[in-house]
Structure 1
Amino acid sequence: MKEVQEILSLAIPQPALSDQLQLAEADTVSVPDCLDYNLQRYVYERPLPVEDVAMVVYQPAKRGQAAAIELRYCVAGNKYCKNPNCTDQVCAGGHKKDDCNEKLPSVDMITVRFQPAFIQSLQKGNTSSTLFEMQSRKPFVKTIQLCTKSKAVLEQMVHNNYEGVLRNIFLQSKSLELLLFSSDQFIQNDPDERYGCRFLTQMEDRGKIEKARSILLEQLDAPITIRELARRVAMNECYLKKGFKAMFGTTIYDYFQKERMEKAKGLLYEKGLSVSEVAIMMGYSCISHFSTAFKKHTGLKPCELLLR
């Protein structure tokens, strides 16, 4: 899912590490005429550098329809005993949460999407400038700081014992709290705070960066110049380089080389191809150049990997 990968790339800057995540549980609740709530909890065995991230996604009003607001969160936590009555504060097995033997670090991704009709009802009768107008006619995404109050609310939403109508009421009330806290952050924080690139608050420009990455991955055997890459995604070269590093934490060249060598490693180790065959498949005319690049990335020469 594109939205999940997008926020994961911020919470876990090293793309390869996100592959270690395993989906442990998922939950979806739709509150009629109000909002849709979605939770995806991932666990991992090895330590991961997870950073809490919050995003506001805005879709402008269309003909006959109000603007839409979506709040996305990625927060680090812990999954404790498998007993469904366990929460992050209380263990049904009688353990204190810090002593739980089954404790696993987790990454919780929570999405709250407010339905346009509900947003419209909140704006009714309000003639002053509001959060929902966003002073923009274009859709965009803004990353904001996740405040302590929002983290507390998210924890309550993930761990609650309400059912049926009461659960809908609870989730609606907590979602409005998140919207309130997010509006404070939205007004106070500068769009450059996370990325250092104002233009990346626009979904259109972020989409171009994503497209550039897809092009790189599609042709790992055929290096492409930044000028050509910029032309294909219709973006200024400087913006492309700056935006790519801001979103993926590395330069275009380093990202391409890393993915290129990872593919080469798979061809050598898993497919059993020869060094010369892999070098040619990866677009190298000189085997020694391929060997040098491979060792720089993996710490081993291609022939040494084959001996393992």
Structure 2
Amino acid sequence: MTITLTIKDYDELLKTSKENTTCYSALEPCEYIDEMPKRLGRGYYREMEVYPELSLIIFDKEYHHDLVLKIPVSNHPLQFGALALGMYTDTYGQVGGGHTFISGSGVQHKHDSSYRHSQRILGVDIIMPPELLRTFFPGKDGEMLPQLKFLAKESDWQTLLYPKTNAAIQSVVLQIINCPYQGTAKRMYLQGKVIELMALQLAPFLADNTQSQLPPRLKRETIAKIHHAKEILQARLENPPLLSELAQQLGVSESTLQRGFQMQFGTTVFGYLTNQRMEQAHQLLQNRNFTVAEVANIVGYAHLGHFAAAFKRKFGMTPRECFLGKKLVSGL
């Protein structure tokens, strides 16, 4: 069973849940907690204002059913996120499972975020206006570092990145979650850890030679074509066009198409296609009466072994294990 909600509906459920929750006496000033609505799952969101205008959110949640959140086009602040446990996917990439994310400020594309049931998701988000980058990582002139200006888009489409995580990032996330202090010491400790986490995620863009390595910005028309390419791939998962055919259909070069996917979705065209195929396969195995071989064929895999290997890389289990798990639950 999959529950689909708009982000507005989801926020309303959180608000109702908060109204029915007793006050937490142990909370610090400028610290708030929202419990997960019991009809959706269990867990909480804990929000603290670490600096003026900068919010740190610690969340620990688990959903009873597969959940899809539909998020509309909107203005979005700068956001950094990383998980200690679990993973989720959105229309453009994956968070967890080896990846963090950076969501630049600007206009956010309409997208869906998908969560699998009975999976604990533990992590942190940092939300702030992009101007604070100038405070934390100033250039020689006191202005925002040129390497980071691509994260401050204002009225333009935001930049989305899904950088790989590492041991240092994972360690800082756990230190934030398990902060051993209270009061002023806690605030000071978390201020340092927030900056450390942002620095680790931004490190690839802060190297001295990064400025020359950053790809040029895509034109608005090219961005629209990249998103049209995504829609074509979604509609033709079973029989997708070749990269050359897709590029020709859109009127762009293959290199522009690949670069655009990397910049917009944090993955290659092939990586995006594989991710979408695996998500569809997971839904089919969980919710419909198809055999593993039939599902492999539906999502475009002629070789069952290749399908099984790709599915296990994505979900950590074989298609057969997923299929049998669904049958076992249905028989209870």
Instruction: Identify whether the pair has TM-score above 0.5, normalized to the shorter chain.
Output: no
Q: Which structure shows the higher strand fraction?
A: 2
Whose relative contact order is higher, 1 or 2, with alpha carbons under 8 Å and at least 6 apart? Answer: 1
* TM-score normalised according to structure 1 size: 0.43
More helix by share: 1
